[in-house]
Amino acid sequence: MFLVRNRTWLIVLLVSFVLSVAAVAAHPLPYWYVPRGVSLLLECFASPGEFFWWATLGGAFAGYPSGWTGYAVWVLGNTIFWFLASAIGVAVGKGIFSMVKHFHR
């Protein structure tokens, strides 16, 4: 059972990483490559990593990263954020499920 949980979290981490790379890679593309609705969705998904980049390597007046290190920090910050958000969501869900199960005995 422990291996299944670790494998599940590894899959969550990898999916979060792939989605983060896709969101950051699609950010500078023009409209005819990425439709506006998809672009807005990807931008919302990539915003936590962008804030992490801005707080660490960017500056007060920096727009977007210009080098590989900036993009790497952006992707890693975004991956960590969504992985932790998933873990918190699972913990809250387990807590609610155990409370509901406890009260319905």
Q: What is the pLDDT of residues 59-86, one digit of tens each?
A: 766 777 878 888 899 899 999 999 999 9
pLDDT 10s digits, 39-65:
888 888 888 888 888 888 877 667 778
Q: What is the DSSP string of 36-100?
A: HHHHHHHHHHHHHHHHHHHHHTS-TT--S--SHHHHHHHHHHHHHHHHHHHHHHHHHHHHHHHHH
Predicted pLDDT of residue 104:
67
Mean pLDDT value across the chain:
82
Total domains in the fold of the chain? 1
- Domain around 27: 2-103
pLDDT of residue 20: 92
